Amino acid sequence: MAILDQYGRPVRLQRLKERQAEPGLTGIRQIWAGSAASGLTPVRLASLLRACDQGQLEEFLILAEEMEERDAHYFSVLGQRKRAISGTAPIVKPASDAAEDKKLADAVREAIAEHEGFPDLIEDMLDALGKGFSVVEIDWAVDASQWVPRQFLFRDPRWFQFDRETGTEIRLKDLTDTDGLALEPFRFITHRSRLKSGLTYRGGIARVVAFGLMCKGYTLKDWIAFVETYGLPLRLGRYGPEASQEDVQKLFSAVANIGTDAAAVLPDSMRIDFQDTGKVNGDNVFENLARWVDEQVSKAVLGQTMTTDNGSSQSQAEVHNEVRHDIARSDARAVSASLMRDLVIPFIDLNFGVQKLYPRLMIEVNEPEDVKAQIDGAAKLMPLGVTFRASELRSKLGLSDPQKGDEIVGGTAAPAAKPATNRVALNQAEMDAVDEIEAEMLGDWVDVMDEILAPLEELVATAGSYEEVMAGLAQTMPKAGSSKLIDALVRGMFKARVEGDVKDG
């Protein structure tokens, strides 16, 4: 039975041994590319983006690549977002607790999650953040036992295009077919950045920040020109009516170069005056514009500015870091879905056949923990009787449990206080002992109470008035000092005391 890919196409095993998207010195897939950022103007940028909207992506993809190379801030924040995912260890969970499912999960963990090239694979997939999509080719190795990915080859997105009919299928450029070639099943890992709904090639961050970075380029150029003349006085060259055109040109050259040469030779009929223009603060204009553009880039890439730009407090940065965490978690979820579709399921199908349920490979970005708050909370709960495992508290601080023979730092814990006599709660054994004492004391309560009530009943029956009853109590109560009641109370109290002493050690 033929193996089908996620789109229902049959997988040709022989073709998996051959690389499909190899570059060459000639042809349509070359490693050499021109420049789209040099001399970029608003008109040129608008034309480039319109071409991208029509599916002609090459110039836009070249520009997106150059933007990472030319702007340090964009390069930094984009790399920060990529490494938030690539630096996280993947987790492989079996589909169930069955032995066969655990076997599949172990195979995925060994061949994929623990592959030495896995972190680089994640960063290559996240190249889609700037450009909208990315393509990685799987270099399969096969032996007598199984198919395994030997390496993951990043492919230049300029070598791919989208189908002309729907604009959704990624196809390989080829000279023989203007609509491109279909990607071989089980051969490629494609990842799309869904930062916005719509066509994939219109969803890259590079489209959002391109205009701002172009303006920043103009600003930096003007800023440098301003710095060259900042603080220099205005130089005025004066010549007489007898000066020739050649003399005027010499005077202009002398005025233009005196700022750097600090010397000039002029005839007597010419002179140079220096005019003080006062303090100039125009540099703030250039800096403010460049800084504003960087802040917009930070918002587009990270969703915030507090952790990358100046002027933020620690509390503000912590709040904004949560927003960035949400973005990282979304990226991790999207990357995990692409890996499951294009790598994990093909690996299982090639080696173990089609399964009803597959092990899940996930990249989870956990919320940063406030370790100090957790330790402080534990310290406050300890005096209240709440207990904790010492190993768990050590793990929060990144400390290991001491082993036998290790040099120990720190004193022993204070001995626990003995429980109070009047305990709020009793365990089940203590409750059983109390119930037993209670049952024993209630067993003869009729005989004990008869000895007290009989004299009282006789007094009430023979007295003629309330006053006689009250007067006779003094004579009757000594008779009520029942030894049986006293014996019962003493016996019960003694047993309770003994039981408590045994339980409390």
Q: State pLDDT tens for residues 467-483.
A: 776 677 667 665 554 45
The mean pLDDT value of the chain amounts to 80
Residue 407, pLDDT > 90, answer no
CA distance 308 to 290: 14
- Interval 172-203: pLDDT, tens: 998 888 889 999 999 999 999 988 888 999 99
Instruction: Say whether 191 sits in a helix, a strand or coil.
Output: strand
Rounded-to-integer distance, Cα 222 and Cα 217, Å: 9
Nearest by Cα to 343 from 15, 14, 107: 107
d(CA 450, CA 452): 5
Question: What's 263-321 look like in SS3?
Answer: CCCCCCCCEEEEECCCCCCCHHHHHHHHHHHHHHHHHHHHCCCCCCCCCCCHHHHHHHH
* Residue 381's pLDDT band (cuts 50, 70, 90): confident
Mean pLDDT confidence for 120-137: 96
Interhelix angle 42-53/205-229, nearest 10 degrees: 170
The residues, any chain, with a CB within 8 Å of residue 372's CB and separated by 6 or more, are none
Residue whose structure tokens are 């750097």:
260
Residue type present at position 109: R
Bridge partners of 4?
10
The burial of 124, by beta-carbon neighbours within 10 Å (0-12 exposed, 13-18 middle, 19 or more buried), is given as: buried
Tokens of 208: 């959002």
Q: State in Å, rounded, how far the first CA of the chain is from the last one.
A: 73
- Percent with pLDDT over 70 in the chain: 71
Say which residue, 24 or 80, is predicted with more confidence.
80
User: Residues 321-374: pLDDT tens digits?
Assistant: 544 788 889 999 999 999 999 999 999 999 999 999 999 999 988 776 667 777
* Rounded distance between C-alpha atoms, residue 50 and residue 210, angstroms: 13
pTM of the model: 0.66
Q: Tally DSSP H helices, then E strands, for the chain.
A: 17, 10
Residue 67, Cβ density class (10 Å: 0-12 exposed, 13-18 middle, ≥19 buried): buried
Q: What is the pLDDT of residues 49-67, one digit of tens each?
A: 999 999 899 999 999 999 9
Q: Return the exposure string of 236-256: e unless at least 16 CB atoms fall within 10 Å of the residue's CB, then b.
A: ebebeeebeeebeebbeebbe
- Rounded to whole angstroms, the Cα distance separating 259 from 229 reads 8
112 vs 284, more confident: 112
Enumerate the H helices of 303-442 as residue ranges: 314-339, 345-352, 371-381, 390-396, 428-442
Q: How far apart are CA 172 and CA 190, in angstroms?
A: 12
